[in-house]
Amino acid sequence: MTSVDLSIQLCNLTLRNPTILASGILGTTKALLKRVAGNGAGAVTIKSVSREPREGHKNPTVITFEGGMLNAVGYSNPGVDAAAREFSCLQEVNAPVIASVIGTQKEDFARVVEGLSGAKFSAIEIPLSCPHTPGFGLLAGQGTPEATFAITSEVRKITQLPIFVKLSPNIPEICTIAKAAEDAGANAITAVNSMGPGMVINIEAKKPVLDFKVGGVTGDALRPIAVRCVFDLYKAVKIPIIGVGGISTGRHAIEMMMAGASAVGIGTGVYYRGIEVFKKVCEEMAQWMEENGFDKVNKIIGAVHD
């Protein structure tokens, strides 16, 4: 292929390229993580794990619209004990694996992180920003600077792994929340979670399509908002930022990195371009860099601020 260097440093992790499988997409089993890593992802994130098993919302849970996707899966997951079994022997996955951990109380986060400590995760992500699951994220008041500080501090006490705090694009003072996370010992900010919630109504049925009625909006519609959040965060915090929201091409990834992201999460991109999206994005990034005189991808990070 090309001679450009796509590898990046994220906290203490070296990623062969900046693409990361975002949480909630395909991260249900180790077999799928292996497949995504085999398709070129620089790192992969598991589907969020809570203390107890959860079946999530009823179907329809995931639909698309002209501007992207709408989901209210409702954090279905097998609970920490079964997840610890599923994600043992993570060295079989050819990329660092990030554990996404959720809870209702701050103690729940700690309990889950502890429960997963035997598995070889490379980092812990705590999303405090889900817009569509009662008891979690925004619907549990976790999207405030105080709650973010408290939860991040609790997790900090029990793990040496890098902690990524995932934030909502909904909140105008996203930088204040990011600073609270940084102050509590977070090692990176993941920006952003899905926005909204939004609603799609089937006019013949005269009913919202999602069974939970509302769901988080991702994909193309989210991208300009995510880019703006990352742009603002780059100036506000010193810790690295993982930019997530509507990235499905190399140009999108470069745009996000220019705004200030050290790495990019890809989720809905799997819908737009298949499981091969990671490989495609990397190839397109490399090609663009060659054409535009960049030899190392880390030189792009924050370029728009120069």
Partner 1 sequence: MIEQPRMVKICDVVEESPGVKTFFFKSDLDFVPGQYIMVWIPLIDEKPFTISYIQKDIVGISVLKRGVFTHALHKKKAGDLIGIRGPYGKGFNLQANSNSCVVGGGIGMASLTTLVDRLTDATIIQGARTVSEIIYRKRFPGMKLCTEDGTAGFKGTTVDFLMELLNTQTYSKIYTCGPEKMMYKIVDLAKKQQIECEVSLDRYMKCGFGICGQCDCSGQRVCIDGPVFNTTELNKMEDFGKIDILKTGERVNIHNR
For residues 143 and 166, what is the distance between their CA atoms, to the nearest angstrom?
10
214 binds partner 1 (CB under 8 A): no
**Any idea what DSSP says for residue 35?**
H
Question: 182 exposed, middle or buried (CB, 10 Å; 0-12, 13-18, 19+)?
Answer: buried
In the bound complex, what is the minimum distance in angstroms from residue 124's beta carbon to partner 1? 19
In this complex, which beta carbon is closest to partner 1, that of residue 105 or of residue 202?
A: 202
In the bound complex, what is the minimum distance in angstroms from residue 251's beta carbon to partner 1? 22
Closest by CA position to 257, among listed 52, 21, 17: 17
205 binds partner 1 (CB under 8 A): yes
In the bound complex, what is the minimum distance in angstroms from residue 217's beta carbon to partner 1? 14
SS (H, E, C) 56-76: CCCCCCEEEECCEEEECCCCC
N-term to C-term CA, the chain: 30
Provide the β-strand partners of residue 65: 68
88 binds partner 1 (CB under 8 A): no
Among 4, 11, 62, 214, binds partner 1 (CB under 8 A): 62
64 binds partner 1 (CB under 8 A): yes
In the bound complex, what is the minimum distance in angstroms from residue 37's beta carbon to partner 1? 11
130 is catalytic: yes
In the bound complex, what is the minimum distance in angstroms from residue 85's beta carbon to partner 1? 9
Among 16, 51, 54, 132, binds partner 1 (CB under 8 A): 54
β pairing state of 19-21 and 43-45: parallel
Q: Which of 11, 89, 130, 175 is catalytic?
A: 130
Q: What is the CA radius of gyration of the chain?
A: 18
Determine the interface stretch with partner 1 among 27-35, 127-135, 185-193, 230-238 (rule: CB under 8 A): 27-35
Residue at token pair 């929201």: 245
76 binds partner 1 (CB under 8 A): yes
Among 31, 92, 105, 295, binds partner 1 (CB under 8 A): 31
9 binds partner 1 (CB under 8 A): no
For residues 217 and 198, what is the distance between their CA atoms, to the nearest angstrom?
6
Among 4, 79, 104, 284, binds partner 1 (CB under 8 A): 79
The residues near 293 (Cβ < 8 Å, ≥ 6 apart) are none
Length of the chain: 306
For residues 193 and 202, what is the distance between their CA atoms, to the nearest angstrom?
25
Determine the interface stretch with partner 1 among 63-71, 114-122, 227-235, 296-304 (rule: CB under 8 A): 63-71
In this complex, which beta carbon is closest to partner 1, that of residue 32 or of residue 229?
A: 32
Write out the two tokens for 257: 């990195």
Residues 245-304 that bind partner 1 (CB under 8 A): 267-268, 270-271, 274-275
Report the Cα 113 to chain-centroid distance in Å.
17
Residue at token pair 């035997």: 118
| Geometric angle at alpha carbon 153, from 151 and 154, rounded to 5° | 65
In this complex, which beta carbon is closest to partner 1, that of residue 67 or of residue 185?
A: 67
194 binds partner 1 (CB under 8 A): no
- What residues are annotated to the active site? 130
Residues that bind partner 1 (CB under 8 A): 24-29, 31-32, 34-35, 47, 53-56, 58-66, 69, 71, 73, 76-79, 82, 86, 200, 202, 204-205, 207, 209, 211, 267-268, 270-271, 274-275
